[in-house]
Structure 1
């Protein structure tokens, strides 16, 4: 038997032993529902579908992590929000209820639903959403991911909710090795990973 074959077999036998105990880290993705800039603590709802085109932010309980210690590992800071899902097929908004630590489904009546609306569209560009008219009980929101501009009415209780209830928190991706401590933070809502 040739020496190269023997060395290769020994290397293959030793490889699992050498790799055992190595921690390469983990990646987690979520939608931000709370962010404390002073403490650097971020709370988000974990994505569980692993479908890049149709993510599902529905895993409870929320995940809480501390931002990376190295400031060079932190991308644009996140904007938190309560809106988890905007469903114009079944006419509801799924929001995260901080007090109940659970989701709440808010039904709505559509007023105007526009599809295929890009961020540069005149109805969206330069505007800040949500646009809330409490006297008319209307809320207008924009979803860049869905390319959807939706205006709808809600009941008296829902229109009294805080404005950030209707904001979709930024989508983030975090690399970590230690539970509760991010090693790298990326705001994928504000970062175009395909831009050259």
Structure 2
């Protein structure tokens, strides 16, 4: 019986949130969002929740941020999350929405584009063919006053400049954090943690 229960929980956990009936039920609840902070020593992850019901159009705009303890059982913990403060990239309006920890709020920054291209993930602009791996972004060039990012979801490569005061911010300001899914019964304490960005549920 315990085995069947564990299998059922796993099946529920990997289903899209839109099928979770708002995440409620006797088996607990599910939360999902983008990681903005991860403290390995303290075993906590902080997320900005996704309020969209469409997985293809996430909306990371729920405040305040939510902090969770990661599972006590290492077997219930997927790949460690990469944090990032970039919530949205709008290449039409030339704007980036970031989460600013100093104000505990979102900030919309209008950027000046230098180079902007729609490219696939294996394009040489974003992929190191010789090393057979993706290039590391963001790239912050303090001398040239440029920032280069790549959005895998949008398939957009963008090199841009912003007002000088933003160059003092940490590099992860311009990076998008991993999307994570958390199963919990007690608020703030996860029982199961999935790194959606780094997990291929169809891999055998």
TM-score per shorter chain, which class? 0.7 to 0.9
Whole-Å separation in 2 of the counterparts to 1:77 and 1:97: 22
2:152 maps to which of 140, 144, 148: 144
1:114 maps to which of 117, 120, 124: 117
Structure 1 segments, 4+ long, off by >3 Å, are: none
Secondary structure of 1:159's counterpart equals helix
Equivalent pairs counted in the alignment come to: 174
2:171 maps to which of 163, 176, 182: 163
Whole-Å separation in 2 of the counterparts to 1:77 and 1:105: 28
TM-score, structure 1 length as denominator? Answer: 0.85
Q: Does 1:38 align with 2:41?
A: yes
Shift of 1:60: 0.4
Whole-Å separation in 2 of the counterparts to 1:178 and 1:161: 34
> Cα deviations across residues 125-145 of structure 1 (Å, max 9, x unaligned)?
231111111222211001111
Q: Does 1:73 align with 2:81?
A: no
Secondary structure of 1:157's counterpart equals helix
Whole-Å separation in 2 of the counterparts to 1:25 and 1:36: 25
Q: List aligned pairs for 1:83-122, cutoff 5 A.
A: 83-115=86-118, 117-122=119-124
Secondary structure of 2:165's counterpart equals helix
Structure 2 counterpart of 1:124? 126
> Cα deviations across residues 9-47 of structure 1 (Å, max 9, x unaligned)?
xxxxxxxxxxxxx72211111100111001111100000
CA RMSD of superposed structures (Å): 1.2
Larger radius of gyration: 1
TM-score, structure 2 length as denominator? Answer: 0.82
Query: Unpaired segments of 5 or more residues in structure 1?
Result: 1-21
Query: Unpaired segments of 5 or more residues in structure 2?
Result: 1-24, 128-133
